[in-house]
Amino acid sequence: MTDAKKLFIKTYGCQMNVYDSERMVEAMGADGYVTTDVIGDADMVLINTCHIREKASDKLFSDLGRLRPLKAAKPGLKIGVAGCVAQAEGAEILRRAPQVDVVVGPQSYHRLPQMVRAKGQVVDTDFPAEDKFDHLPQGRGAKGPTAFLTVQEGCDKFCAFCVVPYTRGAEVSRPPVRLLSEADALVARGVREITLLGQNVNAYHGDGWTLARLIRALAAIPGLQRIRYMTSHPNDMEDDLIAAHGDLPQLMPYLHLPVQSGSDRILKAMNRKHTRDDYLRLIDRIRTVRPDILFSSDFIVGFPGETDTDFAATLDLIDRVGYGAAYSFRYSARPGTPAAEKPDVAADVADARLQVLQAALTRQQRAAQDAMIGREVGVLYEKAGRQPVGKSDHLQAVHVDDPSGRVGELVRVRILASSTNSLAGVRIS
């Protein structure tokens, strides 16, 4: 018997890529590959890439540069590039990096094993008619009490700065029956919390179901204690989804709801199709049904044309909302997007704004963490030990004094201390 072949996989980008990497590992597993953390032992290196900002894309080519000597020493080594850079650049990757064997776009992952078996270089960036999910193993390797489940992919929104509609294609929703049976299988393997994923997850419309209907059906699965979803778009927060936040205890009180900017002028230039008031009203409506909910958002600073007044409006918006967490980025012009045609804001101005925004958001996050002190929260243990660690209902990391705690237990914890990135407490039941 020969040893199993070894796969080293590196994942950049969003949770969707994390999910996809798990599916590719399973697909390659069916072809005799096991994963390794030691790149020097690998028979195949697979890089799952992100194209969202220039820096993210550049990482691929520096990784590929470092792989060149490895391939020279081990000519049988297969090198694969997956993800959004693969989709955007296709065969161009082979031209720039001839050591690559396989380039596979996100909609063709079910074809990966056969591409790896093929001789010579292979590129597949189709948007095939068949559904890759029908051909990919689903979560057989799920470990631990939390899991992602992709319910929707692609985006039809075309924000002026964003490559996702081009790299992931049009919005496609998976059928609810498939999702319910996959969720059943995950729960049977010990999963207690499922995060539904989609580039525009609340635009879900599989077989005419809304996301709220899907969430309600999932909440009926015995043993599934927590449900989350991301990323949602403000314009797709329908009434039934808001209502679900008010009356479904399994739906956790944390919502990532990106706004990008607080200036109406910039929102319009970004093609977001909502105003700051639309967003603030939406936040109020959700807080009315679920007062303790925490919000997070993404922000872009230095979008073309952004003035000091526009930026001040963003700072004002965050003051009004009070975020529990947030991600902020300096605008990066992406080839092929409408905003890339416009003149950039000076780099030093954009950098200075980013620092101001990040400092303000960090203060808010710290305040939200501190506000948990004295409160009782649910914590799902993801790691056991002298001090088990898990996430609170509000998605904050919590360390608990509970040496007998087991992974997968959902316990009640009183929070005693906080820092910017984690909480500490004692188990009370």
Residue 50 interacts, among ligand F3S, ligand SAH, ligand SF4, none and using kind-specific CB cut-offs from 5 to 8 Å, with ligand F3S
Nearer to ligand SAH, 42 or 357 (CB): 357
Q: Is 158 in the site for ligand SF4 (CB under 6 A)?
A: yes
CA contacts within 13 A on the Cβ side of 163? 23
How many residues bind ligand F3S (CB under 6 A)? The answer is: 14
Q: Would you list the DSSP string of 369-417? A: HHTTTT-EEEEEEEE-SSS-EEEETTS-EEEEE-TT--TT-EEEEEEEE
Question: Counting beta carbons within 10 angstroms of the beta carbon of residue 305, is it exposed (0 to 12), middle (13 to 18) or buried (19 or more)?
Answer: middle
Of 13-21, 241-249, 313-321, 367-375: span binding ligand F3S (CB under 6 A): 13-21
| CA angle in degrees (0–180, nearest 5) for 277-278-283 | 90
Question: Counting beta carbons within 10 angstroms of the beta carbon of residue 401, is it exposed (0 to 12), middle (13 to 18) or buried (19 or more)?
Answer: middle
Residue 300 interacts, among ligand F3S, ligand SAH, ligand SF4, none and using kind-specific CB cut-offs from 5 to 8 Å, with ligand SAH
Query: What is the per-residue binding string for ligand F3S in 265-294, x denoting contact by CB under 6 A?
Result: ------------------------------
Q: Is 342 in the site for ligand SAH (CB under 6 A)?
A: no
Is residue 24 within 8 A of residue 9, CB to CB? The reply is yes
Question: Counting beta carbons within 10 angstroms of the beta carbon of residue 427, is it exposed (0 to 12), middle (13 to 18) or buried (19 or more)?
Answer: middle
Is residue 251 within 8 A of residue 219, CB to CB? The reply is yes
Contacts (CB under 6 A) with ligand SAH, residues 251-270: 258, 260
Q: Is 52 in the site for ligand SAH (CB under 6 A)?
A: yes
Contacts (CB under 6 A) with ligand SF4, residues 128-157: 155, 157
Nearer to ligand SAH, 63 or 298 (CB): 298
Q: Is 225 in the site for ligand SF4 (CB under 6 A)?
A: no
Residue 49: which H helix or E strand, with range? strand 44-49
The two structure tokens encoding residue 98: 């001839």
Of 10-18, 91-99, 109-117, 184-192: span binding ligand F3S (CB under 6 A): 10-18
Q: Is 332 in the site for ligand SAH (CB under 6 A)?
A: yes
Is residue 333 within 8 A of residue 344, CB to CB? The reply is yes
Q: Is 339 in the site for ligand SF4 (CB under 6 A)?
A: no
Partner residues linked to 193 by β-bridges: 146, 226
The two structure tokens encoding residue 234: 């403000």
d(CA 174, CA 259): 26
Nearer to ligand SAH, 36 or 199 (CB): 199
Q: Choose, by CB under 6 A, the member of 33, 133, 148, 161 that binds ligand SAH.
A: 161
Contacts (CB under 6 A) with ligand F3S, residues 17-36: 17
Residues forming contacts to ligand SF4 in the complex (CB under 6 A) are 155, 157-159, 162, 164-165, 199-200, 233
Residues forming contacts to ligand SAH in the complex (CB under 6 A) are 52-53, 155, 161-162, 164, 199-200, 231, 233, 258, 260, 298, 300, 329, 331-332, 334
Residues forming contacts to ligand F3S in the complex (CB under 6 A) are 13-14, 16-17, 50-52, 83-84, 163-164, 167-168, 199
